[in-house]
Amino acid sequence: MTESDVKALPVKDTRYVKSTGQGLYVEIHPNGSKYWVWQYLFPPSKKGKRESIHIGTYCNDSGVVMPLKRAREEKNRLDVLRKQGSNPKLEKSKEKEEVTGIGSMTFEEIAWEWFGDYSTKKRPTTAADVKLKLKNQIIPKFGKYPIKQISRQECIKFLQSNVSRGKPEQGRKLLGVMRQVFNYAIDIYSLYSSSDENPARSSENTRTGHVSKPRPSLTDWKDIPPFLVALSENNCGGEFQVNISVKLAALVFLRASSLVSMKWTDVDWNGKMLTTPAEFMKGKREHLTPLSSAALELLRRLEAINGDEEWVFYSPRGKQYSHITPVTPNHHITHLGYQGKMCLHGFRAMAMTHGREQLGYSQEIISLQLAHMNKDKIIAAYDRSSFMKERTKFMNSWSDLLLENGLEV
């Protein structure tokens, strides 16, 4: 494998590795970062245990860090130590701590190393949001500083700068991302003796006083028919598939990220069922949604224009996504004249409220369909296998209710 071959390795939805020969692999992450991994036997014999070690970063948002030639040289250097009886993993750790020193590593270096692991464990939309926070706000402020020189006072000042410009919740979230980066440095590189010394740790002084407000929803039934009529008439002239995305959300009440990331392979036409993969669910569990006749009809209309694409809501203009963004349906609701009154997430509260008041279904059945995580592990275990008959009946009744009150597909 050549340098050009490594550079050309495509980014996929999941992390994967590609061999460059002699036990050296390049690990490609969904966020575009690539890392060098060496797999070896230690002790160096047939009875040795197989181990692996990250020996460097090929590239991240800052560009190429360690080209293939340097990675091979580093692997060969460590291999000499292995043959002399030293475990490369331990030697590498000592070098970072004693020779390179955590004190000389910048916040940016540690942050992207942390994010490479973090992004594989979170939903793509969550990882993308954190990446933007790092890239646009945190790293421009702290990126070039040696991580050990960033003080508690500087972290508090950064938080307060967001509070003073009217963004307290944003400041709290940014500090939370920084806290995770520092925790990573503490756990991996022994930055401090304990997490109590984390410069971005939460305390009485980091509380912004922000009180979260429930997302807007039409919980008064008399407001729903006019909204459904406005949606059906598309009186703001929104794009065809964006209008359908909001109609479908009204019928299936998935979260925005789960809705717009639907693939055609997730739709079981014969079984009338939509499967949302665990990676796109807040609870990290695969979720089943029975599809009513109205929902299936909306999907057929989209199939006529996007059926040859991977994504149900495919968008050729997407930069971050190959489908419409999670905020696009909310913009459509705003343009319909419902800013501050309704949002896509509001369909979930609407289903819970009126599924009980108008249709008489139990909270338990609706909660299961909403994919709420049940604290009772025994009940939670039946999320997929049980109550599907009742959930299907509820989804069909809900669809009929909306169609009877102004929704047109």
The token pair that represents 133 in the structure block: 């926070």
Which sign does the torsion angle of CA 283, 289, 295, 300 carry?
Answer: positive
Would you state the pLDDT for residue 72?
92
Pick from 256, 315, 298: which is nearest to 123 by CA? 256
pTM score over 0.85: no
CA distance readout (Å), 331 to 226, 256, 342 = 18, 12, 11
Query: How many other C-beta atoms lie within 10 A of the C-beta of residue 337?
Result: 13
Would you state the pLDDT for residue 231?
96
CB 20 within 8 A of CB 3: no
Would you state the pLDDT for residue 210?
47
Task: Provide the greatest CA pair distance for the chain.
Answer: 79
List phi, psi (to 5°) of 145.
-75, 140
H helix intervals, 322-405: 328-333, 346-357, 363-369, 377-380, 388-404
Q: Judge: domain 3-97, CATH 3.40.50.2000.
A: no
Would you state the pLDDT for residue 405?
95
Pick from 111, 226, 128: which is nearest to 178 by CA? 111
Would you state the pLDDT for residue 316?
83
CB 190 within 8 A of CB 94: no
Query: How many other C-beta atoms lie within 10 A of the C-beta of residue 328?
Result: 22
CB 253 within 8 A of CB 271: no
DSSP string, 176-225: HHHHHHHHHHHHHH--SSSGGG-TT---GGG-----PPPPP---SGGGHH
Q: Please, what are the averages of pLDDT over each run of 10 residues along the chain (409 residues)?
A: 92 90 91 89 84 85 83 89 83 57 75 88 84 93 85 87 86 93 84 71 65 74 95 93 96 92 95 88 81 96 93 83 90 94 92 93 90 59 67 95 95
Residue recorded with tokens 């224009």: 305
What is the rounded CA–CA span in Å between residue 278 and residue 250?
A: 22
Provide the residue ranges of all domains of the chain, joining segments of one domain with +.
3-97, 108-206, 221-404
Q: Judge: domain 221-404, CATH 1.10.3720.10.
A: no
* Topology annotation, domain 108-206: DNA polymerase; domain 1 (1.10.150)
Would you state the pLDDT for residue 99?
43
